[in-house]
């Protein structure tokens, strides 16, 4: 019996759990995170729902149900949304959930204390316990209480939190209006902000008493706020604190100012002397092979997550963006390696994620497991929801698909292992006024967003009639990047990346030199074409299956679909099928 596969996003496709904090409690891996609404108009509109999987099978995720409701917090009437939780087992054996409350678009999230809930089980149901407080019983509001993270460090309960803006590093901070911006964001007076000898900004750490609420050791910066001239200058801390202990070293995972990457810093101490390590993952694959932000392979935006070890394998958990916004984010994960020296190399985002190896090149897959989706000008989000049209993962009722596929859109899947030559088919339809997903809620563009670049209409360079009458997907394949042979459901395929490349060449496939391949930055081979029926003349706009005109060869590789056509397209499913022969 074949083992069940798992792909990114690894939770049910109608589930949106961002800001993931993975923890092993007992024999299960639990994922604690925020809870977005599908197609929602702001962050974290749903109550906390936790998912877990047995440590011996990360394909078998189940919902533990709603473990805690926003209405249980006494601040709910004014701040109805719960943000970015973390969970820890206390020395008393109970489980403690730390989180913050905020309003629309995060407004007020920088002004509130850290809330705590408690339960006898990691799977809930949690009950409100109180707010983190000072020794005198007053609310602990030192620095900015945002995105709490917590760890039990061999009996010492450590709490981390904070956010960081660069205003105070500007020479004209006191006269430029930046001070007033901080006062407004943080709900603090001028005198209070200026009373900090370092800064109210930055990543903060402290120690809690056994009651899990009271501060034992006063909060302080774990990394200096001022980053100019330091190894953090290119990737300063922004938010999303998370701490893990690997051996005797402490790994601080955080979201940087770039707002699409999870970075890490390493120290021999839990509260000081951290040195910048690097980027672990970017939700636009920025940084992979030197890729720049403007070359992002997805819409980028807010990210938050952490790392965890399961059965000797380390993983990074992060989230991707859907619905042209930062408000419908889905949990993803990738395998990572940590060297004995404490180094983590940046990993690419994939479709196979938690799977034991590449996905099997057989049967059907939801199109929305694409790990790369770009028209060459994807925007950066950062607390945004766009009305403009560009390729995106979306839904109409219970159907989930990629919409807004326009000329020269690239859709990538990594990785598939084909045991034999196979045809690739797609379930697609032309996008029309009748089936187009129209968002009717409020839109929002943050000042930090990247915006959307203008692109010439398809066919302006010639070939307009050809694109109109004969829309198509060009199918490209690229060898897997790993030097070692990949694993297919626990069995070695025997195909290294070099072997795949040799096999593709011997099969008559030539490396592409098209602008698409060059822009993508990988060595791609054009393998086939999938021709799509045009909707010109009012043809039916229902889902139709279309197959490649050539077999994809045996091997392990990424599969890329590059669309060419004047009409926009929607894609629901991709599938692999072997050649069949008739007898008689």
Question: Under a CB-based contact definition with an 8 Å cutoff, are residues 32 and 86 in contact?
Answer: yes
Sign of CA dihedral 335, 147, 18, 328: negative
Given a cut of 70, is residue 188 above it in pLDDT?
yes
Question: Could you give phi then psi for residue 168, rounded to 5 degrees?
Answer: -75, -10
Given a cut of 50, is residue 208 above it in pLDDT?
yes
Predicted confidence (pLDDT) per residue in 461-486, tens digit? 445 566 667 899 999 999 886 333 23
| Count of CB atoms situated within 10 Å of the CB of 453 | 12
β-strand partners of 300: 380
Question: Under a CB-based contact definition with an 8 Å cutoff, are residues 255 and 239 in contact?
Answer: yes
518: enclosing H helix or E strand:
helix 515-520
β-strand partners of 23: 30
Closest CA to 267 of 238, 282, 240, 247: 247
Predicted confidence (pLDDT) per residue in 421-434, tens digit? 999 999 999 999 99
| Count of CB atoms situated within 10 Å of the CB of 78 | 11
For the chain, the first-to-last Cα distance in angstroms comes to 33
Q: CB within 8 A of 397, min separation 6: which ones? A: none
pTM: 0.93
Q: Express as a percent the part of the chain with pLDDT over 70.
A: 87
What pLDDT band is residue 523 in, cutting at 50, 70 and 90? Answer: confident
Q: What's the whole-number mean pLDDT along residues 529-543?
A: 76
Closest CA to 63 of 72, 50, 82: 50
575: enclosing H helix or E strand:
strand 569-578
Q: What is the CA radius of gyration of the chain?
A: 25
> What's the rounded Cα separation, in Å, for the pair 235 and 123?
35
Active-site residues: which are they? 19, 239
- Mean of the per-residue pLDDT values for the chain? 90
134: enclosing H helix or E strand:
none
The two structure tokens encoding residue 426? 């797609």
Predicted confidence (pLDDT) per residue in 13-34, tens digit? 999 999 999 999 999 999 999 9
pLDDT value, residue 504: 45
Predicted confidence (pLDDT) per residue in 379-423, tens digit? 999 999 999 999 999 999 999 999 999 999 999 999 999 999 999
Question: Under a CB-based contact definition with an 8 Å cutoff, are residues 238 and 259 in contact?
Answer: yes
> What's the rounded Cα separation, in Å, for the pair 281 and 344?
10
Predicted confidence (pLDDT) per residue in 147-186, tens digit? 999 999 999 999 999 999 999 999 899 999 999 999 999 9
Given a cut of 80, is residue 453 above it in pLDDT?
no
Strand, coil or helix: 72: helix
């Amino acid at each position: 019996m074949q083992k069940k596969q798992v792909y990114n996003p690894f939770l049910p496709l109608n589930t949106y759990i961002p800001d993931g904090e993975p923890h092993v409690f007992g024999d299960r891996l639990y994922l604690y995170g925020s809870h977005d609404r599908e197609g929602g108009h702001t962050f974290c509109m749903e109550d906390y729902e936790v998912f877990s999987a047995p440590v011996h099978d990360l394909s078998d995720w189940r919902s533990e149900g709603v473990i805690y409701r926003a209405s249980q917090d006494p601040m709910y009437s004014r701040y109805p949304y719960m943000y970015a939780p973390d969970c820890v087992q206390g020395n008393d054996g109970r489980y403690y959930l730390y989180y913050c409350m905020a309003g629309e678009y995060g407004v007020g999230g920088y002004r509130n204390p850290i809330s705590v809930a408690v339960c006898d089980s990691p799977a809930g149901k949690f009950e409100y316990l109180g707010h983190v407080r000072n020794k005198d019983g007053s609310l602990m509001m030192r620095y900015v209480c945002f995105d709490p993270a917590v760890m039990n460090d061999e009996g010492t309960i450590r709490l981390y939190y904070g956010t960081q803006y660069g205003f105070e590093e500007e020479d004209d901070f006191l006269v430029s209006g930046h001070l007033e911006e901080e006062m407004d964001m943080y709900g603090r007076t001028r005198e209070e902000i200026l009373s900090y000898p370092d800064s109210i900004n930055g990543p903060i750490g402290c120690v809690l008493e056994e009651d899990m609420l009271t501060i034992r050791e006063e909060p302080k910066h774990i990394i200096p706020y001022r980053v100019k001239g330091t190894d953090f200058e290119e990737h300063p801390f922004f938010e999303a604190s998370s701490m893990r202990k690997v051996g005797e070293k402490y790994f601080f995972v955080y979201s940087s100012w770039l707002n699409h990457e999870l970075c890490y810093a390493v120290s021999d101490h839990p509260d000081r002397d951290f040195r910048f390590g690097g980027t672990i993952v970017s939700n636009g694959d920025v940084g992979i092979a030197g890729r720049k932000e403007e070359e992002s392979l997805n819409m980028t935006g807010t990210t938050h997550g952490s790392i965890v070890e399961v059965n000797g394998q380390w993983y990074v958990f992060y989230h991707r963006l859907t619905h042209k916004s930062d408000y419908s984010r889905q949990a993803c994960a990738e395998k990572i390696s940590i060297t004995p020296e404490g180094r983590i190399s940046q990993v690419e985002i994939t479709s196979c994620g938690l799977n034991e190896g590449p996905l099997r090149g057989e049967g059907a897959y939801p199109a929305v497991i694409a790990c790369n989706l770009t028209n060459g000008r994807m925007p950066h989000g950062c607390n945004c929801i766009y009305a403009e049209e560009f390729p995106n993962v979306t839904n109409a009722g219970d159907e989930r698909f990629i919409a807004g596929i326009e000329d020269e859109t690239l859709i990538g899947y990594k990785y598939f292992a084909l045991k034999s030559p196979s045809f690739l088919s797609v379930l697609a339809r032309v996008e029309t006024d009748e089936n187009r997903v129209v968002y009717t809620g409020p839109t929002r563009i943050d000042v930090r967003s990247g915006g959307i670049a203008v692109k010439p209409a398809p066919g302006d360079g010639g070939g307009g009639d050809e694109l109109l009458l004969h829309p198509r997907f060009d199918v490209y394949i690229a060898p897997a990047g790993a030097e070692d042979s990949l694993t297919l459901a626990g069995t070695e395929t025997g195909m290294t990346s070099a072997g795949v490349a040799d096999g593709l060449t011997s099969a008559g496939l030539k490396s592409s030199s098209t602008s698409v391949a060059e822009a993508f930055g990988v060595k791609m081979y054009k393998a086939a074409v999938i021709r799509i029926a045009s909707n010109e003349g009012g043809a039916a706009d229902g889902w139709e299956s279309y197959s490649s005109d050539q077999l994809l060869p045996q091997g392990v590789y990424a599969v890329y679909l590059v669309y060419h056509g004047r009409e926009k397209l929607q894609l629901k499913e991709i599938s692999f099928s072997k050649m069949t022969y008739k007898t008689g």
